[in-house]
Amino acid sequence: MIPGICGQGLSFQADGFRLIYLAIAVLMWGVSGVFSREYMAHYEKKGRYYLFFWATFLATAGVFLSADFYTTFIFFEIMSFTSYVWVAFDEKKESLRAAQTYLAVAVIGGMAMLMGLFLLYDLCHSLAFDQVAETAGEILSGAPVSCALGLPGRQLYVAGGLLLFGFGAKAGCFPLHIWLPKAHPVAPAPASALLSGILTKAGVFGVIVVSCRMFAADSSWGLGIVLLGLVTMFLGAFLALFSINLKRILACSSVSQIGFIMTGIGMSVLLRAAGEDGGLAVRGALLHMVNHSLFKLVLFLCAAAVFMNLHQLDLNDIQGFGRKKPFLMFCFLMGALGIGGMPLWSGYVSKTLLHESIVEYTNAVSAGGMASGIIRGVDSWGFWKGAEWIFLVSGGMTVAYMLKLFVALFVERHSVRQAEFDAMSAEYMKTSSKLALAAAAVLLPLLGMTAHKSMDLLADMGQAFFGQAGHRHTIAYFSLENLKGAGISIGIGVLLYLVAVRRPGTSGRRYTDRWLPWLDLENLLYRPLLQVVLPGIGGAVCCFLDRYLVSSVVAVFLSVSAVVCRAMDQMADFVIRTARRSTHSQIPWVADSVRCGRATDGSFSAFGKGISERKRKMSEKAACMKRQLQRNGRLVEESFSFGLMLFAIGLCLTLGYLLLVFVRQ
């Protein structure tokens, strides 16, 4: 505990899960740092890269060691802004646009998270994880708790939803996954390994706390997380399967693997709500987090080796680069087999646990006839069998796109440049980079082949963070039943590769980019909403107020002014007539009154003319409004003020919430 910082103080804690991820962070930054020495050698602004490289490490470590939501939020926001520099590093047009997307998601997610923290603190009077979990349990059990909105259960769900929005944005969960396919292709590859491998896990860290502590046995919440996970895993794999940019494929793959982890988190909540222990889902989610961090460290550094030699990422341009490079082939193959769930590699273990958790819940639903949360009345057994097949098909698509990458890089030949690629076999990577990459790659088969000794030990250390004290299942990882699930996914993957990637009858070996632009939610929904719809609504409201409210006030003021002017004119005439009849016609106060009346009359006349002139100019300004808004939009897009605008929107919402609480109290 560090008291006094930012008012609330910072709280830290070290347990098994936190130490595991602190060790993974050290490993990933160490390996990426060694590789960055070669990768960044020809860049001019290396100092800026390394400054934010290590600043992000400290912020990420702060997230994983935090013991309350306030500390998590502080380091989470620092991590978001320091890692922004990675995305915008080369300052090209596409990099700056991707950085805008990354910043927008980070800022909006952070503001939503802050709103959730306000609501949560009002309920629990604390943001410590343990205290929040205790109070949330009381609220869900029906205990009366005073709160600003008057309904503690509803306020808890709203707070949880806002926190899920903020953490899910960083994790890359649908529909906030839009930054990953944009940011990874433009960021330096060692930074992409960290963005995908561990910064997304900082978001998952928050999702775990919200789901497994606040809503530990709430079936509706668990089902919602499972649905998000299923959509995310399928959509990410689908987008990866039809892309031809190496780093974009790996980025979409990250979206899909986050979906696997989210599914495991949701299944742990559902299993506890059903009276089961949830150990399979908890251990599967935890181990897949660890595995995915290692997968993406290896695969993105392999992509870095390709890019720093060719400066290209299109599969048609890098086709055949890996031929006659056995070391690169070995490392890439370790990552590909691991993420594909091949037996004897670590990914097989975590995916088996996740698959078994779905099977376990399906059997429980079938045996007990339970309805699942928000889908009561639906054939639940059929729904969960469908969820199991989505899981298997998504795993199959993972095999298919990794097979596509391996064949393109290491099997096929480039039609023009193959001799040039083969000549690079001796010096395409320095020895220090090879050692760093090899250290990460050998972990994947080593963990998979010693699953009961190594991976079970990691699961035992980290499961308490999920609220899981133990588990009553002993998994025979290599039983025929579990091998059957892996075999189905692998078979689906090979079939998809042959049908969707290498379609029969296609001529040549050129890859076609079948990326679907209409699935880009950023251009389809978010940018129009932020740049057109919201400014349009705001402009319409301002025009309405200006036309009707302000004009009405001006009209009333002019009417009152006219009455006052007429009254003063009549008074002046009366004074003048009186002065003429008087023998003392040079009375000083009379002359002063006349001059004052004339001056006032002239002032009101000038003011009236000014108002008329203003009305005339209003129509001209309205005609220019649309052009001005368009110019402002372009300026905002091209500057950092885009982020400040998003911050202001969130701040207005926050102030609105505080006003609501003040009025209710």
212/67 same-domain check: yes
Q: 211 and 224, same structural domain?
A: no
For residues 99-110, one letter each, b for 16 or more C-beta atoms within 10 angstroms of the residue's C-beta and e for the rest, the string is bbbbbbbbbbbb
Confirm whether 156 is domain-assigned. yes
- Tell me, yes or no, whether 592 and 450 share the same domain: no
- 287 vs 451: CA distance, rounded Å: 11
Residue 311 CA to its chain's centroid (Å):
28
523 found inside a domain: no
- DSSP classification of residue 150: S
Same domain membership, residue 227 and residue 205: no
| The domain boundary residue, chosen from 479, 508, 537 | 508
Residues 29 and 70 in one domain: yes
pLDDT of amino acid 258: 93
φ, ψ of residue 425 to 5 degrees: the values are: -60, -25
If asked whether residues 109 and 36 sit together in one domain, one would say yes
The answer to whether residue 99 is domain-embedded is: yes
> So what's the pLDDT on residue 138?
83
Q: Domain residues for 559? A: 545-646
Q: Which pLDDT value is given to residue 91?
A: 79
CA pseudo-torsion sign 89, 91, 94, 99: positive
Question: Which ranges of 407-463 would DSSP assign to H, the alpha helix?
Answer: 418-423, 431-441, 443-449, 456-462
Q: Is residue 314 part of a domain?
A: yes
**Does 657 map to a domain?**
no
Chain position carrying tokens 């499972």: 226
Could you tell me if 483 and 335 are in contact, meaning their C-beta atoms sit under 8 angstroms apart? no
- In the predicted model, residues of the chain with pLDDT beneath 70 are 1, 4, 6-7, 145-150, 368-379, 381, 470-473, 503-509, 515-519, 522-523, 527, 545-665
Residues 478, 336 share a domain? yes
Domain annotation covers residue 517 = no
Indicate if 180 and 241 belong to the same structural domain.
Answer: no
CB 265 within 8 A of CB 208: yes
pLDDT tens digit sequence for 592-617: 544 545 554 555 455 455 555 655 66
Q: What is the pTM of this model?
A: 0.79
Residue 450: which residues within 8 A CB-CB, separation 6 or more? none
What is the rounded CA–CA span in Å between residue 29 and residue 14?
A: 20
**Co-location of 280 and 410 in the same domain:** yes
Q: What is the pLDDT of residue 528?
A: 73
Tell me: do 92 and 239 sit in the same domain: no
Residue 8 domain-assigned? yes
CA atoms 169, 513, 488, 350: torsion sign: negative
Count of alpha carbons within 13 angstroms of residue 126, beta-carbon side: 12
* DSSP sequence for 564-621: HHHHHHHHHHHHHHHHHHSS-TT-HHHHHHHHHHHHHHHHHHHHHHHHHHHHHHHHHH
Give the span between the Cα atoms of 202 and 181, in whole angstroms. Answer: 18
pLDDT in tens, 317-346: 898 898 889 999 999 999 999 999 899 999
Give the contacts of 51 (CB within 8 A, at least 6 positions apart): none
Alpha helices by DSSP H, listed for 274-423, are 279-310, 315-318, 326-339, 346-368, 380-406, 418-423
Q: What is the domain count for the chain? A: 3
Q: Name the domain boundary from 181, 216, 251.
A: 216
Question: Is 272 found in the same domain as 183?
Answer: no
In a domain, 655, yes or no: no
Tokens of residue 6, six digits: 């930012």
Query: Do residues 76 and 33 both lie within one domain?
Result: yes
Q: Which of 458, 480, 508 is the last residue of a domain?
A: 508
Q: Tokens representing 659?
A: 């006003």
